[in-house]
Amino acid sequence: MTRTFDKSRLPSRHVSVGPERAPHRSYYYAMGLDEEQIARPFVALASAGNNSAPCNTTLDAQADAAQRGVIEGGGMPRRFNTITVTDGIAMGHQGMKSSLVSREVIADSVELSVRGHCYDAIVAFAGCDKSLPGMMMAMLRLNVPGIFVYGGSIMPGRYQDRDVTVVDVFEVVGKYAAGACPLSEVHALEKVACPGHGACGGQYTANTMACVAEAIGLSLPNSNMVPAPYSTREQIAVAAGAQVMECLADNLRPRDICTREAFINAARVVAATGGSTNAALHLPAMASEAGIDFDLFDVAEAFKSTPYIADLKPGGQYVAKDMYEAGGVYMLMKTMLAGGLLNGDCITVTGKTLGENIDQVTWNPDQKVIYDVKTPLSPTGGVVGLRGSLAPD
């Protein structure tokens, strides 16, 4: 049964309730809405979808799918897009100067659209590098009920009977420059490394921040490691649209979820997966939006006391698809919680605690991607905080 809401208590009342809002309602009638639809909560579906890079090419379709869940949950979806800068294309030239700035533009643009149109909740879709933290920063800044959805990673390419990613292409460029291979090898590899839609397959920035979103509680359990081409992504989007309406009904907001303890959980998951050091930039930025003091040295402290247990590229053998098939982020967190490395009391967008969500997971001893914390690949993560005369600040 479709849930009903008292719109007089929601932000969207400012653009839809009362005689003085008749001009505003005229705009909604122009877009095909009727009175019953205008009376529903307005839910933003913020998409970073574009065809600038394969990371983002499925996001709009996933955002469209989420509309079904929002409608079934009693809301009215309002979709809009923001920009992205994809590091894989921007790096190696002047374009990289735009990368980190884009995170702020994404956060600002999403904030402005949600505030300007008085949306009551948000489902945010992102697929690459700075767009993931940018979306989550906006969610924390706005603090309306929200869920983050990752677009999913790319499938690995195949070259000479082995899995490859775009990083293999970067490496073969260096190999060619050193005179260690012919140009034909460069061309052969570049054509097969990225076989379709999705973000870089290894544990680079996008997949790292996708793991963060699950660990910190802003994404549905085991949703973000599902590869972009899988049909399951549509089901995840629908579920996110439905669940955000539950968050709205329960008044469960991002800052209720993203506590300091949740940020520590997220940093530990980054360390355990051998994730991107860019997380040391993004986690403090997200924490700042939530009014939480959590800096680079807090990230480094979590890394120092967390074993590396996921055998993922670039430091390991496997890619995101393999981690999904091994059980995903929650399989990783299963052994981490058992080892006392996570706070299981942190609330998540499911309305349940992280520990309650993890209780639904059964450890898979047959998979080869995620190691038990008792037998890690390495006893610590990969970031060290440097203090002293060489680094006074």
pLDDT tens, residue by residue, 249-268? 999 999 999 999 999 999 99
Q: What pLDDT score was predicted for residue 312?
A: 94
Across the range 23-47, mean pLDDT stands at 98
Nearest to residue 343, comparing CAs of 217, 241, 220, 191?
Answer: 217
Domain with CATH 3.40.50.2300 in the chain: 41-156+195-358
Averaged pLDDT score across all residues of the chain: 96
Segment 348-372 shows an average pLDDT of 98
Please report the pLDDT score of residue 4 as a whole number. 84
Whole-structure pTM over 0.85, yes or no?
yes
pLDDT tens by residue, 158-175: 999 998 999 899 999 999
pLDDT at 389: 85
Q: Are 307 and 379 in contact (CB under 8 A)?
A: yes
Burial class (CB in 10 A: 0-12, 13-18, 19+), 365: exposed
- Strands 42-47, 121-126: pairing is parallel
Mean pLDDT, residues 286-292 taken together: 99
Residue 85, SS3 per DSSP: coil
Residue 94 has pLDDT above 70, yes or no: yes
Amino acid at 95: G
Reduce the DSSP state of residue 337 to 3 states and report it. helix
88 φ/ψ angles, rounded to the nearest 5 degrees:
-60, -25
Residue-wise pLDDT for 263-283, tens only, equals 999 999 999 999 999 999 999
Topology classification of domain 41-156+195-358: Rossmann fold (3.40.50)
User: Above 60 in pLDDT, residue 1?
Assistant: no
Position 343 scores a pLDDT of 99
Average pLDDT, integer, range 298-317: 93
Q: Measuring CA to CA, which residue among 242, 101, 215 is closest to residue 150?
A: 215
Position 387 scores a pLDDT of 77
> 390 pLDDT band (50/70/90 cuts)?
confident
